[in-house]
Amino acid sequence: MTAPATKSITTLNNRYQLMELIGKGAMGRVYKARDLRLGGAIVAIKFLAQTLLNERMRKRFWTEASICAQLGQKSIHIVRVSDYDLDADDVPFYVMEYLEGYGLNEIMRGQAIPLPRFLMMTRQICQGLQMAHMGIDVEGVICPIIHRDVKPSNILITRDHSLGEFVKVLDFGISKLMMEDAGATSTYMGTMVYSSPEQMEGLELNAQSDIYSLGVMMYEMLTATLPVQAETHSFGGWLKAHLNQVPKPMKVAKPGLNVPKALEDLVMACMAKTPQERPKTIQDILRALEPIEERFSASRNLSNRIGEVLNRQAAQAAEALDLTNLAPNLPNLPNLPPPTVSPAEEVVGPNSPARMTGSGLIADELLRSAAWPVKEMPVAQIVFSKVMTVGKETIPTLWVMLESYEEVKKIKLSKLYNLVYKNVLCTQTPYPMALWVTAFYNHMYHDENGPRWMPCYLDFKSRHGMEMIRLLGQKGEYQLLFFAKELPQKCAYVTTIKISDALKANLREWSVTSATWRVVGDPNESKQLAKKLLKNELEKQKIRVAEELKVQAQKKFQLGL
């Protein structure tokens, strides 16, 4: 029974019910299917391409299946294979675990991976490759496995209920069994952009060839650029590039990038032109990464840094909710084109200039054009967010209504003495939610009552919330618009608020990873609980932040700054 070219349902060998085509490549097609013997469990089935039905390719396909079957038993970071057989037309296929997630190439999309997330991903990639290099049993002989095609599209990022974001190494279709009598590889197979010089020259390969490809991928993950560039996209062009080009320092490739020197040295060593100059084993790379990851683990995810107490509260609260509804509720993927205008998103100024550059010009245009949306929002002391477009630029904004114009005027006239606290608190459970916090403090006006707090919730399961998170991470700043209850028709003051690089990196990370965060229990109850948890955390932080702002303000005033 030949694999169907469409989504039509077909039963394979009276066991596997094919559902839909989910992938195809040079070696064959992959289908999503149900295993009818195991209660309809979802699996993935890979068929050898019809054009490759010769004895040599059948043997290679079988080798791929057997390699993955053994490696999947040894490492949770390699896709598991559970069955191998022929269909009614003698087309070979094998059955593997079905994984939902995104390729590393989809996650990058021309963007660098934040350092904490890079370290987490790279460690898991290395753990998968390490098991392959340690080898499998072939007729009583342990034979190391060289992947030979390490690249972003062969790295799948999925989500595990217990382990969080999880990495799988895919496609051992062109891997090589390193047996004593294997001989040299005379035919090039791989991906030119990521292949080592010796791989492109058709020389004998070892683990250090995979390490070169890993180094190219790590460089790209950190800088969003390739370490070497071919003059022409041809075999000769890439061979010349890998043989002769020296990768640029990361700060040159991506200005402003701050990568620990030890990490940059490690990546550069992995891309050494000769195998002897590279780390000898993946274990050496893991040892080098360990102290770097320990150093930066504190900034891995702000939702984790909220603390054990917050996580414990969420877990206790989740137990009281209905835990039967665990189906994922995925929002739109990040990095989509800007959404169309809705009541929560407004285009400012019918006579806006064709191109606006610089925060000052944007603030001036908002001050001139923005008016309180009385039809959607009450004229009261509230805070809300809007995605707005000024000219051709889409920007994140925060709108604040204060009781009187007098307070707005004080903030405006005393801007040299204003201190601004800005942060985004985030929780994944029981409902993905963020609390966007801004606070102004001026010792002349806020000493008695404390800072002016302006909190705003962002829902990761809403299109608007996702767009705000994405824009904040992309822009690294937002516009804060002040209004007064006594004069709501006109914006009283606009100021540009910059955010730190660390917070910016977290926001970019959340804009990607939040697509896999799940709602625990009833969405409405979970959402209210998440808001309560974030609010409680903010209340605990307010005392500390207020005291720090007060001390800083006094120092600033004494210095006359």
Contacts of 172 (CB under 8 A, 6+ apart): 64, 67, 68, 71, 78, 132, 145, 147
Burial of 123: CB neighbours in 10 Å, binned 0-12, 13-18, 19+? middle
Q: Which amino acid is at 390?
A: V
**Known catalytic membership, residue 149:** yes
Cα–Cα dist 492/483, whole Å: 5
Cα of 69 vs its chain's centroid, Å: 29
Residue 108, token pair as written in the block? 């990058």
Let me know if 74 is exposed, middle or buried by CB neighbors in 10 A (0-12, 13-18, 19+).
middle
Mutual orientation of helices 115-134 and 501-513 as an angle, nearest 10°?
60
* Catalytically annotated residue among 35, 149, 210, 459: 149
State how far the alpha carbon of 453 is from the alpha carbons of 396, 420, 534, 546, in Å. 19, 10, 14, 10
Cα(509)–Cα(402) distance, rounded to whole angstroms?
Answer: 33
Query: Amino acid identity of 221?
Result: M
Structure tokens at 187: 């035919």
H/E segment holding residue 218: helix 207-223
CA distances from 497 to 153, 193, 420, 485 (A): 37, 41, 8, 23
The catalytic residue positions are 149
